[in-house]
Amino acid sequence: MPENHPPTQSDARARIMAIRNGETKPLFDSAPFGPHSPSPSLLIERHEVCSTEWQTVIIPEQVVTLHLRRCAVEYGDGTGDSSYCLIRAKGSAVIEKRASEQRFRWGSSASTLSVCLSDAALEQTADAAPLTSEGEPADRAVEDMRLSSLLSALERERSHGYPAGRLFVDGIEQALAAILVRYDGIVRHTPQVYKGGLAPYRMKRVTEFIQAHIEEEITLNELAHDVGLSSSHFCSLFRKTSGKTPHQFVLHCRIQHAKSLLAKPSHSILDVALASGFRTHQHFSRIFRRQVGVPPSAYRAQL
């Protein structure tokens, strides 16, 4: 929800939009803190919010907000005759009302992470994930630790400049969508049930695609498109086949590639990291040690 700062000139990248007091404009006046989301379908904005006057907002797309510190938000009934105040706890997640006019004001300063999910992601997930019961009321999301944990992980990734790349963000988007579609009022479709895993020829194509692009950023959509599946369907089948998420499997392939390069003394550790698709020496060393048990330099010394 918008803060009480004057408009700030941002770049041409997409912003989370809203209809505010009858005008279509960014949901927040100020530019987001830090780097932009590496994913065009999951918009991510971090903001510091000041207390505000009353304002009316309609959010046309699905937005979820993580409160990074305790704050107060006051809501009105639309007539100005009555209002009520909600205290948002640190770490609480709120599913913002979509396509519904809200009259509110920030009663205190706040620190927020807001994400906007695309309809395509929600629809694909709703199609692939059968629903076994009626949806939960959206206001119960403040107690959903799954949402809080996912958004907190996304905030940590954002604050470090998205070192894991777009594939990590794509995975968070799929996980968020899988939770959101089970809440009442979120897009829902007749479920389709998929059995089994990826066909062997599809798994082979995925592995070949990763090896051919091992130095590059690899997205979930690219992997799914290469085998002719939707992202959510691909994720479900891939995990059944490999026992790993696509992100975990790509990291495994990158580390295997790095191990082969470390056998060549002419390659520096940084050269190996970049040639294996890692953006920084530090990120490479952390993932390598986690998977292999020793740092890259120690592994090379053992060869």
What is the Cα–Cα distance from 279 to 98, expressed in whole angstroms? 37
Q: Is the separation of the CB atoms in 104 and 73 below 8 Å?
A: yes
Residue type, 96: E
Where are the chain's structural domains? 17-180, 200-302
pLDDT of the residue at 120: 83
Residue 219, pLDDT > 70, answer yes
Query: Which stretches does DSSP call E strand in the chain?
Result: 17-20, 23-26, 42-49, 55-58, 62-67, 71-76, 83-88, 93-95, 102-106, 110-117
CATH no., domain 200-302: 1.10.10.60
- Lowest mean pLDDT of 127-131, 202-206, 221-225, 283-287, name the range: 127-131
pLDDT bucket at 190, cuts 50 / 70 / 90: very low
The model's pTM is: 0.67
DSSP 183: B
What is the Cα–Cα distance from 14 to 22, expressed in whole angstroms? 20
Mean pLDDT of 161-186: 90
Q: pLDDT exceeding 90 applies to what percent of the chain?
A: 56
pLDDT bucket at 182, cuts 50 / 70 / 90: confident
CATH no., domain 17-180: 2.60.120.10
